[in-house]
């Protein structure tokens, strides 16, 4: 008799859990992408598919050692100011040589429909910004290469301000300068760090599955929106 009661209780708990999950998903779906006024994008993996460049950034960029220092334990904290100016400049020159060589041979590629996505957002009166951990000089070079610099209202490198994602400092700077309410801001990225940063900043998050982190890894962080890639995001914006 006792076993039956326990079994019924478990069954009831499972039903309640499923009901809560359905309500949670329903609440997510009721929010439309058209509700947002500022769309802030990550760069590597989100809009481009160039993994080798991120590897070079991580290896030679002087500020990558700061990555996740506040929210994860993957790296030890170091003091940027303790590095000599000449040492930082040397690292930048090494990074420049490797990246320029790669860009000369292969050139980075945008994911399909990136230009169409950005132009669609701007045509609808939305603000568009870029916030990335990549080096400022490389981002500027690639934006010019693709001819899409004018499609962004603001571009900011986390390495420029010496605070790397998932720390939300850079995202908050963009929000303040753009003068947009946080409930009207959506951050789009392809990594767990992007979702964590958005949540920490108090804005909505959108994960794209065609970048660096796998779908299962991204969904564990419970982003507000998830799409397989840029094309699916564009379709949702058009229909929303």
Q: Identify the weakest region by mean pLDDT among 7-11, 135-139, 147-151.
A: 7-11
- Helix, strand counts (H, E) of the chain: 9, 6
Task: Report the pLDDT value the prediction gives residue 64, as an integer from 0 to 100.
Answer: 45
Judge whether 229 and 210 are in contact, CB under 8 Å. yes
Task: Report the pLDDT value the prediction gives residue 209, as an integer from 0 to 100.
Answer: 93
pTM: predicted TM-score of the whole model, two decimal places:
0.72
Determine the average pLDDT of the residues in 152-174.
Answer: 92
User: Of 41, 75, 89, 33, which Cα lies nearest the Cα of 235?
Assistant: 33
- 187 Cβ contact list (under 8 Å, min separation 6): 40, 41, 42, 131, 171, 194, 197, 198, 201, 203, 204, 205, 206
The number of domains in the chain is: 1
Q: Could you report the per-residue pLDDT of 21-60, keeping only the tens digit for each?
A: 343 444 455 689 999 999 999 998 899 975 555 555 555 4
Task: Report the pLDDT value the prediction gives residue 31, as an integer from 0 to 100.
Answer: 80
Residue 84 lies in a domain: no
- Judging by beta carbons within 10 Å of its beta carbon (0-12, 13-18, 19+), is residue 161 exposed, middle or buried? middle
Rounded Cα–Cα distance for residues 138 and 48 (Å): 13
Judge whether 80 and 62 are in contact, CB under 8 Å. yes
Residue 54 lies in a domain: no
Q: Could you report the per-residue pLDDT of 60-100, keeping only the tens digit for each?
A: 444 444 444 444 444 334 344 444 545 555 555 555 556 55
Residue 6 lies in a domain: no
Residue 28 lies in a domain: no
Task: Report the pLDDT value the prediction gives residue 83, as an integer from 0 to 100.
Answer: 47
- More reliable by pLDDT, 236 or 95: 236
State the CATH number of the domain containing residue 223. Answer: 3.40.50.1000
Pairing state of beta strands 204-208 and 225-227?
Answer: parallel
Task: Report the pLDDT value the prediction gives residue 22, as an integer from 0 to 100.
Answer: 40
Residue 78 lies in a domain: no
**Cβ neighbours of 189 (radius 10 Å):** 32
Task: Report the pLDDT value the prediction gives residue 87, as an integer from 0 to 100.
Answer: 58
Residue 116 lies in a domain: yes
Residue 62 lies in a domain: no
Q: How confident is the model at residue 213 (pLDDT cuts 50, 70, 90)?
A: confident
Q: Which helix (H) or strand (E) holds 78?
A: none
pLDDT at 187 over 70: yes
- More reliable by pLDDT, 163 or 90: 163
Range of the domain at 149: 35-49+109-239
Judge whether 121 and 128 are in contact, CB under 8 Å. yes
Q: CA–CA distance from 51 to each of 32, 47, 108, 176, 234 (Å)?
A: 31, 12, 9, 31, 23
In percent, how much of the chain has pLDDT > 70? 63
Residue 201 lies in a domain: yes
Task: Report the pLDDT value the prediction gives residue 224, as an integer from 0 to 100.
Answer: 97
Task: Report the pLDDT value the prediction gives residue 129, as an integer from 0 to 100.
Answer: 98
- More reliable by pLDDT, 54 or 232: 232
Q: Identify the weakest region by mean pLDDT among 2-6, 9-13, 27-31.
A: 2-6
Task: Report the pLDDT value the prediction gives residue 231, as an integer from 0 to 100.
Answer: 96
Average pLDDT taken over every residue of the chain: 78
Judge whether 132 and 44 are in contact, CB under 8 Å. yes
């Amino acid at each position: 008799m006792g076993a039956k009661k326990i079994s019924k209780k478990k069954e009831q708990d499972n039903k309640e859990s499923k009901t809560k999950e359905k309500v949670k998903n329903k609440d997510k779906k009721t929010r439309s992408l058209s509700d947002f006024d500022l769309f802030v994008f990550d760069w590597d993996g989100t809009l481009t598919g160039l993994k080798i460049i991120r590897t070079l950034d991580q290896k030679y960029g002087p500020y990558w050692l700061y990555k996740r220092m506040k929210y994860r334990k993957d790296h030890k904290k170091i003091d940027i100011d303790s590095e000599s100016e000449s040492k930082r400049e040397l690292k930048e020159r090494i990074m420049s040589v490797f990246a320029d060589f790669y860009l000369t041979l292969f050139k980075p590629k945008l994911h399909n429909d990136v230009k169409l996505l950005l132009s669609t957002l701007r045509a609808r009166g939305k603000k568009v910004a870029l916030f990335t951990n990549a080096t400022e000089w490389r981002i500027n070079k690639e934006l010019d290469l693709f001819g899409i610099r004018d499609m962004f209202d603001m571009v900011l490198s986390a390495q420029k301000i010496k605070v790397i994602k998932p720390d939300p400092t850079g995202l908050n700077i963009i929000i303040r300068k753009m003068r947009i309410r946080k409930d009207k801001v959506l951050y789009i990225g392809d990594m767990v760090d992007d979702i964590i940063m958005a949540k920490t900043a108090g804005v909505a998050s959108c994960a794209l599955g065609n970048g660096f982190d796998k779908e299962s890894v991204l969904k564990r962080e419970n982003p507000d929106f998830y799409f397989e890639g840029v094309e699916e995001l564009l379709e949702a914006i058009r229909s929303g």
